[in-house]
Amino acid sequence: MRFPSGVRKLVLTVHVITTVGWLGAVIVFLALAGIGLSAADPATVRGAYLVMEPAARLVLVPLALLSALSGLLQSLGTHWGLFRHYWVIFKVVITMVATGLLLIYMETFARMAAVAAEPEATLEAVRSASPALHAFLALVGLGIATVLAIYKPRGLTRYGWRTRQDRDLRPPGGEP
Amino acid sequence: MMDEPEYPGAPRWVKVAAGTAVVLILILLVLLLLKSPGGHAPGRHLSLTAAAVTFAPLGGG
C-alpha cells in the first residue's frame, strides 16, 4: 500500500517533529538528571526527581509512541517498506526498544518521585545516577536512529532483494 | 530460462552493527545479572536507603 503524496508528507512531518522532539526531551532529562546529581540545594535536588515522572508521562511517552507509530506508517506507506532495507529495520528496532524501556522505566520515575517527596529521606537517598545513565543511552540510540534516517545506508534484505527482482522482471504494463 | 541473480548478502556495515549490538546486549545482560539476580527490576535503581524509605510501613517501626 502506497500513501498518496499529501498523506506521505503529513506522516513524514509528524514523524520528524515527534522524533526530534523526543530527542530534545531526552536532552532536557539528561540536564535534569545532572542537576539532581550535582545540585547542593535540597529543594532543587528533590524538585528534579519530582518533576521527572509527570514530565516523562506528559512529554516523553506521547512523543515516543507517536514517533514509533508514525515511523511504522511511514515505512509501510512508502516504497521503503518495513523489511526491505536494513537501515529501516535497525531504526524500527531502536525505536521500539527505546519506547518499551521508557514505558518500563515509568515505574522507576514514580518510585524516585515518591522518595523525593518523603521529607525523611536524605539527599543521598534521593539522588540516583539511573536517570542520567538511561537518558544517555536513549540519546545514543536516538542519535543513531537519526543518523540512519538521514544517511540511509545501502543494503537490501533478502526479502527486499527478491521484491526488487520480481519488480524488475515484471513485464511493462503488468499488474503493479 | 534466465537464472535469477544471487542475493549478494548483507553489507559490511550491517554485520558490524549487528555484531556490536549483540556484544553490547551480552555485556548489559551480564552486568544486570551481576548487579541484580531479579533482572531489570525498577527497584534496583534505588539505593538501599531509598528503598527502605519507600517500602517502610506507614506507621513507622
Q: What is the mean pLDDT of residues A110-124?
A: 95
Task: Give the residue among A55, A39, A45 at the shortest CA–CA distance from A121.
Answer: A45
The model's pLDDT over A143-168, given as tens digits with 9 standing for 90+, comes to 999 999 999 999 999 999 999 888 88
The reported pLDDT for the residue numbered B52 is: 41
Residue length, chain B?
Answer: 61
Q: Above 60 in pLDDT, residue B58? A: no
CB contact under 8 A, B54 and A118: yes
**pLDDT attached to residue B6:** 87
Put simply, the answer to whether B40 touches A104 (Cβ < 8 Å) is: yes
| pLDDT band (50, 70, 90) for residue B36 | low
ipTM: 0.76
Task: Give the number of other Cβ atoms within 10 Å of residue A54's Cβ.
Answer: 12
Mean pLDDT on A130-137 = 96
pLDDT digit string, tens, across residues A55-114: 999 999 999 999 999 999 999 999 999 999 999 999 999 999 999 999 999 999 999 999
Of B49, B52, B43, B29, the closest CA to residue A107 belongs to B43
Here the cell at position A50 is 519530582
Contacts of A100 in chain B (CB under 8 A): none
A32 Cβ contact partners less than 8 Å away, ≥ 6 residues apart? A48, A51, A52, A55, A131
A111 with B46: Cβ contact below 8 A: yes
A124 contacts on B by Cβ (under 8 Å): 47, 49
Q: How far apart are CA A88 and CA A111, in angstroms?
A: 35
**Can you tell me the distance from the alpha carbon of A128 to that of A52, in angstroms, rounded to the nearest whole number?**
12
What is the pLDDT, as a whole number, of residue B35? Answer: 77
Residues of B with CB under 8 A from a CB of A: 4-5, 7-8, 10-11, 13-14, 17, 40, 42-43, 45-47, 49-50, 53-54
Is the CB of residue A153 less than 8 Å from the CB of residue B13? yes
CB atoms within 10 A of CB A126: 25
> Contact at 8 Å (CB) between A70 and A116?
no
pLDDT reported for residue A11: 95
**Stated pTM of the model:** 0.81
Which among B5, B14, B46 has the least Cβ separation from residue A115? B46
More confident residue, A175 or A66: A66
- Best of A49, A103, A105, A108 to disrupt the B interface (most B CBs within 10 Å) is A108
pLDDT of A141 reads 95
Query: What are the tens digits of pLDDT across the range A22-47?
Result: 999 999 999 999 999 999 999 999 99
Q: Given an 8 Å threshold on Cβ–Cβ distance, is A86 in contact with B49?
A: no
